[in-house]
Amino acid sequence: MAWNWRNVPDDRVRFSIAPHLNHRHTDEHEITRHLWFEEHLKGAFKMPRTPQLTVNLSSPDGVPVVTVTPDDSMPIRGVDIYYAIDPHELTRFWRDAAAANVGNRWQAACPVMTLDQPMFAYANVVYDLPAPFQSVEQRGGPERQEVFAISSRVWSAAPAQLQAAGVKATDRPDRMIDDGSRGWHDWYRLNWGHPPLWYAATRKLKDPKWRGPDGARLVFEIRCLADNALVVTFNCNAWGAFQPGKPAADYAVVKELKGSPDWQSVSVSLQELASTDPERPVPLANWQTVTEFSVSPSGTILKDGQKTKVDGKSWQGPREIRNLRWEGGEYPSRRIPDSALSSEDHRKSFNDAIRKSLEQERVERQAK
């Protein structure tokens, strides 16, 4: 999208990009599409200008600094600066760089782990939504919406640019993946209003900063008020992210949860995960090819050699997660590199993803 419209002037185009989704929007981005038509079909709205984003690759400490200057013609709720170091655009995880307000601009340091991979960056400016549009019904339902988001253009730099500018690889792996302080900020969620089918997923485990050590256990804490079962799934090599031309594979395990107002711990090891494909029952050897991690009360597992659906029970009470982390294991001396997509892989990946998205939307319609 950004590449297609790279030469269209800013006064003619706006972007609104949800960071963790390919074929969907979160509410603050979904409503922006409606506002675009309000402006150009009715003349009933004036869209803020595209945020201006610049990147300083020659900072004194060698850490890239992203600066965003938003249009302040409307009240700004906040600014999120995202960056990534993954060349595989369909599965990359967009890191939140924790932007800080400096006068009429927002800035964030964006440390990288290697100079052998490119860097990408963009920003979302979140505005207060004018009252006349707060009750517009969206795809997810009739809930009231208070904000909308406008995105900057996507900036990128090749490894040679980073090296020539004097960027330094200062970032390091981190065993704490998500402490839960920002809720589901680094995840995407589907069917959130339907207790048996809600689904939360993140690509954060694909980022080399949070990729799992060999032999480590994935541990997290969760709260639910009623007895339940949680399907924990690891999608590997989605869209040929690590092994171009080879199929993706899912590995899953069902975890029983006891109803309680207290936090309870869940631990997942490589040994207890099983492939969901009866034709490819090879166990998962390590965490190096995980592209997505998800939790849901529903899902698919392999039972007695056959694919079996796990039907979600009624989930009562808060769906909260915290302290998602790696325990034990050792980081490998060499990791599997991320790969870029070929043109053929692009076409197949998009077609497969569209089919999957349409099937998911069909399930959502039936659930309503």
252-281 pLDDT, tens digit each: 999 999 888 899 999 999 999 999 998 888
Domain boundaries, the chain: 27-164, 176-367
pLDDT tens digits, 52-102:
999 999 999 999 999 999 999 999 999 999 999 999 988 999 999 999 999
Distance between CA atoms of residues 223 and 9, nearest Å:
48
**Residue 257, number of CB atoms within 10 A of its CB:** 18
Q: Of 98, 108, 295, give the one whose Cα is nearest residue 188.
A: 295
Give residue-wise pLDDT tens across range 217-255.
Answer: 999 999 888 888 899 999 999 988 888 878 899 999 999
Dihedral Cα 266, 241, 91, 343, nearest 10 deg? -160
Q: Which residues pair with 157 in a beta bridge?
A: 119
Sequence letter at residue 140: G
Instruction: Please identify which residue in the block is written with the tokens 């390091």.
Output: 172
320 and 68 Cβ atoms separated by less than 8 Å:
no
pLDDT number for residue 243: 84
From CA 93, how far away is CA 108, in angstroms rounded?
A: 17
- Rounded Cα gap, residues 106 and 53, in angstroms: 10
The mean pLDDT value for 154-162 works out to 96
Average pLDDT for residues 328-336, to the nearest whole number? 81
Which architecture, in CATH terms, is 176-367? Sandwich (2.60)
Paired tokens of 4: 């297609």
Fold of the CATH domain 27-164: Immunoglobulin-like (2.60.40)
